[in-house]
Amino acid sequence: MFRAINPATGEALGEYPAHTREEVDRALDAAVAAQRAWRRTSPTSRAALLRAVANRLRDGHEQYAQTITLEMGKPIGEARAEVEKSAVTLDYYAENAEAFLAFEAIESSASESGVSYEPLGAVLAIMPWNYPFWQFFRFAAPALAAGNAAILKHAANVPGCALLVEQIIRDAGAPEGLVSSLLIDSAEVAGLIADERIAAVTLTGSTEVGRIVAGQAGRHLKKQVLELGGSDPFLVLADADLEAATTVAVKSRFTANGQSCVNAKRFLVVEEVADRFVELFAEKAAALKLGDPLEESTTIGPLARANLRDALHDQVRRTVDGGATVVLGGEPIDGPGYFYPPTILDHVTRDGVAFTEETFGPVASITRVRDTEEAIELANATEYGLGAAVWTADLDEARRIVPRIDAGAVFVNGMVASDARLPFGGIKNSGYGRELSVFGLREFVNIKTVWIGPAR
């Protein structure tokens, strides 16, 4: 049995029965059958389904946003934006998938040759709770457009969202079985990965879980895309626009209640501007309104689970014990729900807990650096490599810095974010493979060489 808990109150929202082994088997059989037919449909037909799903998301956006907020706690305005971003991504692949999948002919006088892109089959998607709609649809839009089927194993604390995305796609006219959400325990995932009816696996989650899934999929020689943890650096150089940088810093650190892999987490600030940066950052973070995420005025809600809040506070405590100072926040909120206030820690050293570990919640870690060179060094002094932001008025200098940052994405004078037109993913312990753009669509296809010689 799966229970949905409202993290703002700690109260139960509902209970959902787990799928039985027989139900799982039926879903896998249905996915295989649906995909065999789906792969033969034209890109135009697939695009029509994606557009229909996007329309249903927009028509029911308020209901879906409320379900997101109730189950995982993000402010309702952010939940609405998540639903819309999912719809935008579906529209993007509806518009572009045919071109992305087109046969690429290679000029040759001796043959008719080239490259075709063909679907793999049913793809298992293991998804997290922090963006329960977006994380799924950013995988599903390109995967379905390419002719695959999707089996969703969602996070245990968002069962309502898991069942909703299946219903939305089914109600939009998808073939029976093309997309299924399975409410199963994590212990059952290994069996799914091993099952011959699953062709490939995608995971968004922690690095620890990524290693497990990679090992399981690797043993069965199945393609994987892993989007894992991150400890993104936010470099503030001496000539940065501090008003702009701190405004974006607040959004970049505290969006989704600080529970995003691409939240800025380590703020590396050149010493000569550090005092002013901290002053402005703290002033703007203090203006965030902590409270009921269903209230329109709320800008930061609770953490998704009690154990996440407890783990975050332990990281704060150990970082302070290591010499950091608390500028803002730093203590859990008494009362119902899993609230933790916006927290800023200054003078965090390179061996401090908030520097070396990913902090998945509303805690910003500030490390003061001598100059640009030390900022770059410390930006790369992490096991992660997802995103990074660089703030400077010198764009030529920024262009020289970008290739030196070990990350899947570097944003200059802006907030790291995903965009359907651009590839998304990391390096090092942040995973491998890419989502979104043409690269994301081609992760779950057979890139087939075709050579046709003259008839003899």
Q: Verify whether residue 377 is a known catalytic residue.
A: no
Farthest CA pair distance, the chain: 82
Catalytic residue among 78, 166, 227, 357: 227
C-alpha of 258 from chain center: 13
Residue 268 phi/psi, 5° resolution?
-105, 105
* Residue linked to tokens 């996440």: 308
Give the integer Cα–Cα distance in Å for 234 and 415.
9
Phi and psi based region of residue 282 (left: phi greater than 0; alpha: psi -120 to 50; beta: remaining): alpha
Catalytic residue among 161, 261, 435, 443: 261
> Does residue 261 carry a catalytic annotation?
yes
CA angle 374, 376, 377 (to 5 degrees): 60
**C-beta of residue 448 within 8 angstroms of C-beta of residue 117:** yes
Sheet containing 431-432: order of strands: 179-181, 149-153, 122-126, 200-204, 223-227, 431-432
| Dihedral angle of Cα 372, 378, 380, 383, to the nearest 10 degrees | -170
The answer to whether residues 294 and 77 touch, using CB atoms and an 8 Å cutoff, is: no
- 431-432 and 325-328 strand pairing: unpaired
Known catalytic residues are: 227, 261
